[in-house]
């Protein structure tokens, strides 16, 4: 059984979906966790109350991951409430899908700003705190869209491909300091986003998945839990693809 007792972890975008399940897995493994949300206070507070009722040590903070001042304020809150940081998990992200000819500049810029700049910004702000940990780790949530591309997602695919490149760069820069940096690339996963798809879209996607089914938030959280644990201490600069076999990169 994985034990994360005394580990201090920050999860961005942890109030719902994949992020919420990641927080759940980490708390059950004994970690102390702070998660962020961007705008929906009621949903985030509902999540916080759920975890606190279960007896977990959990905190939340409103934050815009792409904004420097917001990250600096988050840094202060993490220091005050957790007393340091061992693991940073960059999960916060948005989608604004459209075909290239119809995609607006705002749709492109806003997705790249949150999904790529936001990861870069959070890594930069918390780097020194992570380097003070005896076993610091960064886990970035990418996507198979960043590996294979996806129609209607030129903004999202570009940002997630950037996250994979960013992960490798930071891993190389700070491996000598003992920092491990990896990514998890979810495939077709049951979330609020996929629930908006119609039956034809779902069936078409399932045909491209060798295991013949969509993934669950638990599948993604399990991969993150592994990377957060000591079982992954000799792994860095890697992207773990959790997609039922849809993408099989070399």
In whole angstroms, give the CA distance from residue 20 to residue 2: 19
The maximal CA–CA distance of the chain, rounded, in angstroms, is 50
What does the pLDDT look like over 74-120, one tens digit per residue? Answer: 999 999 999 999 999 999 999 999 999 999 999 999 999 999 999 99
Q: What does the angle CA 170 – CA 176 – CA 179 come to, to the nearest 5 degrees?
A: 55
Q: Model confidence at 250, in pLDDT bands (50, 70, 90)?
A: low
Q: What pLDDT band is residue 248 in, cutting at 50, 70 and 90?
A: confident
pLDDT of amino acid 195: 72
Q: Give per-residue pLDDT as tens, 178-237.
A: 999 999 999 999 887 677 777 887 888 899 999 999 999 999 999 999 999 999 999 999
Band (pLDDT 50/70/90 cuts) for residue 155 is very high
Q: Of 168, 178, 217, 221, nearest to 33 (Cα)?
A: 221
pTM: 0.96
- Could you tell me what percentage of the chain is helix, strand and coil, using 3-state DSSP and rounding each to the nearest 5? 50, 15, 35
User: Of 37, 41, 156, 234, which one is the catalytic site residue?
Assistant: 156
Each residue of 18-74: pLDDT tens digit?
999 999 999 999 999 999 999 999 999 999 999 999 999 999 999 999 999 999 999
Asked if residue 58 lies in contact with residue 33, where contact means CB atoms within 8 angstroms, the answer is yes
Three-class SS of residue 89? strand
CATH superfamily of 8-240: NAD(P)-binding Rossmann-like Domain (3.40.50.720)
Q: How far apart (Å, rounded) are the C-alpha atoms in residues 61 and 10?
A: 10
Distance between CA atoms of residues 20 and 224, nearest Å = 12
- The Cα–Cα gap between 146 and 158 comes to 6
Among 242, 232, 12, 228, CA closest to 120:
12
- 234 part of the active site: no
Q: What is the mean pLDDT of the segment spanning 154-168?
A: 98
DSSP labels, 178-197:
T-EEEEEEE-SB-STTGGGS
Helix (H, G, I), strand (E, B) or coil at 88: strand
């Amino acid at each position: 059984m994985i034990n994360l007792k005394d580990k201090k972890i920050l999860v961005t975008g942890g109030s719902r979906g994949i992020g919420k399940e990641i927080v759940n897995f980490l708390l059950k493994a004994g970690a102390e966790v702070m998660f962020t949300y961007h705008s929906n206070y009621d949903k985030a507070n509902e999540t916080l109350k759920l975890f606190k009722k279960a007896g977990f040590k959990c905190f939340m903070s409103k934050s815009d991951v792409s904004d420097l001042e917001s990250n600096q304020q988050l840094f202060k809150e993490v220091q005050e409430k957790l007393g340091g940081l061992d693991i940073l998990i960059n999960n916060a992200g948005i989608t604004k899908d459209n075909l290239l000819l119809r995609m607006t500049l705002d749709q492109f810029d806003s997705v790249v700003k949150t999904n790529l700049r936001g990861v870069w910004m959070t890594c930069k702000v918390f780097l020194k705190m992570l380097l003070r940990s005896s076993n610091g780790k960064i886990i970035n949530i990418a996507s198979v869209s960043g590996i294979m591309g996806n129609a209607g997602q030129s903004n999202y695919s570009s940002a997630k491909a950037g996250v994979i490149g960013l992960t490798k760069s930071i891993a190389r820069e700070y491996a000598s300091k003992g920092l491990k940096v990896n990514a998890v690339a979810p495939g077709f996963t049951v979330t609020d986003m996929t629930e908006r798809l119609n039956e034809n879209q779902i069936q078409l996607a399932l045909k491209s998945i060798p295991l013949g089914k969509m993934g669950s938030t638990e599948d993604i959280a399990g991969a993150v839990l592994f990377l957060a644990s000591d079982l992954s201490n000799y792994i860095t600069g890697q992207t773990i693809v959790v997609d039922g076999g849809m993408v099989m990169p070399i």
